[in-house]
């Protein structure tokens, strides 16, 4: 199997640059006429996945919204992952894990080892116990041609306290980006990406890490193709825009979900050139 970075770029060229989130938030369940229960979760998540996965490059389930329903919710998450992959989409599991030692390895085994029923093509991770605390995730990803997206510059208002903090070599976020750049060295399309919000505004950081840039916050949260192009500059061809709320709000009709996803992908297609 080709490395994740190569598979991702091929999927973006073929299906358009879009990561469609599957976030079964209670308010969205209600908007779709579903109960906030494992049954409502299953109907919502599988409807969205079955509609979107044949058309988008990446499907991104947000694990927390499944976990809140206990073992029944995790079982639904397993079905979502399998359904998306069967339809040809790559699966990015949004779990934002970050720990140390054997615990990090256990997360890697759960989310990146093909023998696990929760195995995805890539996962999100938090580096704030120290970047090298992620080494088990990164090594497992390499072993299985998977990917890891590491939080770098996020849009939440609390982020600057940590991400903009100064170090002898720059900022914490800058060190995260530099570490990813080192991991991807020598690869045209590296498999280790950064998470950078679409609404962070101007930044002096070098955002080209040699791998993909997962960019949440497009659409309903305010990010536009113009603002993304301005923020990412010469690294814009590496951007994978992520949208969940705007796409899912178009449901529950599958045709409406697909139409909204296609319109979003088309709006960002020029970024790849």
Range list of β-strands (E), the chain:
19-22, 58-61, 90-97, 122-125, 147-153, 166-167, 170-171, 192-196, 213-216, 239-243
The span from the CA of 141 to the CA of 174, in Å, is 23
Compute the half-sphere exposure of residue 26: CA atoms within 13 Å on the CB side of its CA.
Answer: 5
The span from the CA of 231 to the CA of 180, in Å, is 19
Give me the active site residues, please: 96
Is-contact 137 127, C-beta < 8 A? Answer: no
Is-contact 58 20, C-beta < 8 A? Answer: yes
Q: What is the token pair recorded at 264?
A: 């979003």
Contacts of 198 (CB under 8 A, 6+ apart): 155, 215, 216, 217, 218, 221, 222, 223, 224, 227, 228, 231, 241
Contacts of 229 (CB under 8 A, 6+ apart): 236, 271
Task: Count CB-CB contacts under 10 A for residue 268.
Answer: 24
The span from the CA of 123 to the CA of 148, in Å, is 5
């Amino acid at each position: 199997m080709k490395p994740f970075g190569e598979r991702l770029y091929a999927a973006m060229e073929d299906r358009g640059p879009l990561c469609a989130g599957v976030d079964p938030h209670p308010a969205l369940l209600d908007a779709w006429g579903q109960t906030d229960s494992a049954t409502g979760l299953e109907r919502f998540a599988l409807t969205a996945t079955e509609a979107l996965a044949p058309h988008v490059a990446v499907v991104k389930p947000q694990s927390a919204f499944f976990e809140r329903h206990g073992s029944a919710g995790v079982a639904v998450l397993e079905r979502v992952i399998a359904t998306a992959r069967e339809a040809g989409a790559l699966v990015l599991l949004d779990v934002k894990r970050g720990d140390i030692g054997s615990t990090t390895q256990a997360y890697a085994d759960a989310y990146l080892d093909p023998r696990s029923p929760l195995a995805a093509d890539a996962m999100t991770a938090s580096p704030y116990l120290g970047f090298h605390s992620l080494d088990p995730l990164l090594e497992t990803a390499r072993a299985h041609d998977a990917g890891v997206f590491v939080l770098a510059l996020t849009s939440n208002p609390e982020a600057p306290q940590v991400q903009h903090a100064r170090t002898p070599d720059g900022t914490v976020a800058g060190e995260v980006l530099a570490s990813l750049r080192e991991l991807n060295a020598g690869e045209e399309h590296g498999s280790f990406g950064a998470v950078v919000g679409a609404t962070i505004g101007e930044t002096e950081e070098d955002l080209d890490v040699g791998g993909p840039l997962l960019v949440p916050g497009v659409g309903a949260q305010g990010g536009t193709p113009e603002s993304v192009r301005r923020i990412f500059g010469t690294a814009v061809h590496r951007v994978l825009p992520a949208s969940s709320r705007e796409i899912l709000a178009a449901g529950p009709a599958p045709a409406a979900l697909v139409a909204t996803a296609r319109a979003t992908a088309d709006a960002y297609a020029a970024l790849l050139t």
